[in-house]
Structure 1
Amino acid sequence: MAEQNKAQRGRNRDLLIVFARALYAGQVKTRLIPAVGERGALRVYRQLLERTLAAAQRFPGDVELWIDRPDVNQMARARRSGWTCRVQQGADLGQRMAFALDQGLQSHDRVLLVGSDCPLLDRAYFQQALRALAGAEVVFGASEDGGYVLLGSQRPGLWKRNPFSGVRWGTEHALKDSVSSLQSRSRRLAMLPALWDVDEPDDLTRAINAGLLVG
């Protein structure tokens, strides 16, 4: 028992999971392709991903990179940072997030999961999410387009089976649908201030004008 308690004290309580896509032209930022082409969309995504990973470097806990398919470049990037790299599991986004959160909460007390499309994520936002989990079982980081840029939890049993039913992923209803799906299972939900991510050409222009990305 003493050894178990010592191991518990020695581990990081918190984990940040970054969901990322493999770096293949034509497979990332597809809504930007009509405006900037496949190579241009890949270049934009590389910048977004690097901003997210730079923010992850400052996370006060452990970090894991989860990619949608095997990618030697992403795996090497994770190794250089001292992170675990894993492949996402599930037929849709809800299943993939639930699986990742369930896995993370087997070894950590609090887990945050983010994508790699938001250039505004930073240590302060992560810490705000962790503070919210002091009184909530689930925290969402909203995005202005009706989706969300962050999902966190400190309740392991919630994610054993995918709790997201009928969520209209990739639409302005994603956050509302996700909250509705979870409210029957958890009544302690927290919401962070909305950020914005880069999906459409107008978002890209906004990010360039703000000095967050290079055109």
Structure 2
Amino acid sequence: MLLLVGMSVMSWAMIIQRNKALNIAVEETKQFEDKFWSGIDLSKLYNEVSAKVTVNGVEALFKAGFKEFARLHKNSRQSGAVMEGTQRAMRVGLSREVERLEMHLPFLATVGSISPYIGLFGTVWGIMNSFIALGAVQQATLAMVAPGIAEALIATAIGLFAAIPAVIAYNKFSHKVEMLESAYANFVEEFANILHRQAMANGENN
């Protein structure tokens, strides 16, 4: 029971933390995309993003892509090589951001899957002990086994109490992570197209 209570407390702490982090990620993505598509100069936007102490989400993808593009474009005029390196940098950034979003989700999945079985094990163990004790007396009554069985069933209840919120939260957060991952991937493709057009235009001018 103590194990289940501990798992429940930890899962609730992670649920609160993940819910806050994912909500912030959704809001930051919306705000940045609104600014990005407002027509702001990309160099100015890059300077604004670089000035921040912590850069996450779609801002991190933009920073990684623009930084690599500027570095490669300065040293090479071949648009294909420039874009290949730029896209590679953004793909690495995308992988890191998705990994950050999925933090603690495996723990919630584990709690949701094993808590009922731990509770059931506790129930079986408690009922088994009650019947063993019952076999040691000559006259058996319901009053003698009822407390032990009731206590054993509490383990199942605690297991479900730990598992149900974890499963609900895991499904909800997984869906939100998928939505953010899709938004990040779309931004990477759209930003790569913009940079590719810019690289081609600069190549023609030179």
Shorter chain as denominator, the TM-score bin is: under 0.3
Q: Give the structure with the higher percent strand.
A: 1
Identify the structure with bigger relative contact order (alpha carbons < 8 Å, sequence gap 6+): 2
Q: Give the structure with the higher percent helix.
A: 2
For normalisation by structure 1, the TM-score amounts to 0.21
Larger radius of gyration: 2
